[in-house]
Homo-oligomer: A and B are copies of this chain.
Amino acid sequence: MMKLKLILPVLLFANQLYAQDSLTIRKIYDEALVNGKCYENLRYLCKEIGPRLSGSDNAGKSVIWSKKLMESYGFDKVYLQEVMVPHWVRGAKETAFIIDGKNRISVPIAALGMSVATPKEGLTANIIEVHSIKEVEELGEKVIKGKIVFFNRPFDERMVNTGEAYGASGDQRFMGPSIAAKYGAVGVIVRSLTGNLDDYPHTGATLFDKDGKNIPAAAISTKGADKLSAMLKMRKLPLVKFYFKQACQMLPDVVSYNVIGELTGIEHPDKFITVGGHLDSWDLAEGAHDDGTGVLQSAEVLRIFKAMSYRPKNSVRAVFFMNEENGNRGGKKYAELAAQNKEEHIAAIETDAGGFTPRGFSFEDVSNDLMKKLSARWKPLLEPYEIDRLIAGHSGTDIGPLKDKRPGVVLIGFRPDSQRYFDVHHSSNDVFENVNKRELELGAAGMATLVYLIDQHGL
């Protein structure tokens, strides 16, 4: 370990308490930036383990490795929380063609998670382009029946935060297939949820009612979507048809685990601050930004505290949730057990928006008064580290179930810069090489800072 000297920015506050906080935060950053371990840990998770879809062998390996990692750091408690998870598998690589008379034009697709296979020989049908679920409902069974529905509403590039663009386009992938199925569609193709024009399909879960019909559904690359749309405009139906083949299937649920590390509070061991991300990932790449960065930043928060001999007043947990991507079973289990054990949860912070430069935090369903109070108290401390954007907003999927199960908990989302996230999200580009070491470490330091402030001063 390098010997650390304190450097600027250390704020000199008249108030003694602020001065102490300011010094401690500087120590947190020094530890993260000089002795940081999350980048090398992320390399291991991405390169030595790789994709970790729930139920896969790799997901199992990642659980064992994560537990060992946290044990090696000497946290006070390290344990697994058993949870049954869905086991969806992609099967053989998908193929798809636009059929234009006698021409077959290949386009890149990837089955949506939880979708079903096409017939073995593939599926060919007329294809109709729509831009919203409402449009499907308006067209109705008369038009939709027997066709492949092609959802092609692009990201709204005018939105400054790309997460909002994802939210605004996402219903096509989440709900589009199940609703098209109700009107008799035989398959669904969805424009990939990215603002980029490229050749990579971006997968992700689609939702089917238990009682509803499940039809084959796949994401198409944005360039493929533009090509298909252009051909549909040029030629009249039924000259243009679409063919695709996918072999995905749903296997029986399997046992998996949340992985939890804890520093036990010295004043209130029975009160908890949770910081976490999800250990599972999609199968197309290494789940680097989604969400390898998140789990390893979470463990890093506790490692930083140990390294600087900070003993929290309250118990601080790093939770590596399992199955965020296609079921959120880990998140539900964690909340359920928290309720069962009557744990008092002060706050939960989720990092699942990529390992980019941190900019601040979003607070879910908190009062304006609390936002004002936190801003007045903490912004001066956060500003030197450029993480002072404290806003109202969504927190995270994994910690969401705590809201009902542990009322009173404050749910917080870590907010890194959003511009590059959907370049890689759920696609084959989500690899270690696209993570920047400093951006990752600054995120870990930012989260440790927030946890420290909550631990010291409450909310």
Show the binding face of A for B, using Cβ within 8 Å: 4, 7, 9, 29-30, 33-34, 156-162, 195, 357, 359, 384-386, 389, 417, 419-420, 423, 436, 438-439, 442
- Cα A439 to Cα B157 with chains together (Å): 12
B residues near A7, Cβ cutoff 8 Å = 156, 158-159
Residues of B within 8 A of A420 (CB): 436, 439
Most chain B CB inside 10 Å of its own CB: which residue of A34, A159, A438: A438
Q: Please, how many angstroms separate the alpha-carbon atoms of A359 and B386 in the complex?
A: 9
Please name 8 pairs of A and B residues whose Cβ atoms are closer than 8 Å in the assembled complex, sorted by A.
Answer: A7-B156, A29-B158, A34-B158, A357-B357, A357-B417, A359-B386, A419-B438, A420-B439
Candidates B9, B157, B359, B386; contact of A438 at CB < 8 Å: B157
> Which of chain B's residues have a CB closer than 8 A to the CB of A385?
160
A438 to B389, CA, bound (A): 20
Give A438 to B356 CA distance when docked, in angstroms: 15
Number of this chain's copies in the complex: 2
Contact B160 A384 (CB under 8 A): yes
> How far apart are the CA atoms of A156 and B160 in the complex, in Å?
32
Complex-state Cα separation, A30 to B158, whole angstroms: 6
Q: Is the interface of A mostly helix, strand, loop or mixed?
A: loop
> Which chain B residues border A389 with CB–CB below 8 Å?
386
Task: Please report the C-alpha to C-alpha distance between residue A356 and residue B29 in the assembled complex, in whole angstroms.
Answer: 23
Which one of B29, B156, B417 lies within 8 Å of A417 (CB-CB)? B417
A158 touches B33 (CB 8 A): yes
| Complex-state Cα separation, A389 to B161, whole angstroms | 17
Chain B residue, CB-CB nearest to A7: B158
Residues of B within 8 A of A384 (CB): 160
Determine if A33 and B157 form an interchain contact, defined as CB atoms under 8 angstroms apart: yes
The residues of B that contact A158 with a CB separation of less than 8 Å are 4, 7, 29-30, 33-34
7 nearest CB pairs, A to B: A419-B438, A33-B157, A419-B439, A357-B417, A33-B158, A30-B158, A357-B419
Contact yes or no, B160 A29, CB < 8 A: yes
Instruction: List residues of chain B with CB within 8 A of the CB of A442.
Output: 160, 419
Cα distance, A161 to B357, chains bound together (Å)? 11
Instruction: Give the most central of A158, A357, A389, A439: most B CB within 10 Å.
Output: A158
Q: Which of B9, B156, B436 contacts A419 (CB 8 A)?
A: B436
Residues of B contacting A30 with CB < 8 Å?
A: 158
Q: Which residue of B lies closest to A157 (CB)?
A: B33
Chain B minimum-CB-distance residue to A423: B436
* Contact between chains at A195 and B438 (CB < 8 Å): yes
**Residues on the B chain within 8 Å of A359, using CB:** 386
Closest to A438 in B: B419
Inter-chain contacts of A417 with B (CB < 8 A): 357, 417
Q: Which chain B residues lie closer than 8 Å to A33 at the CB level?
A: 157-158
Residues of chain B within 8 A (CB-CB) of A386 are 160-161, 359, 389
Task: Report Cα–Cα, A156/B357, bound state, in Å.
Answer: 18
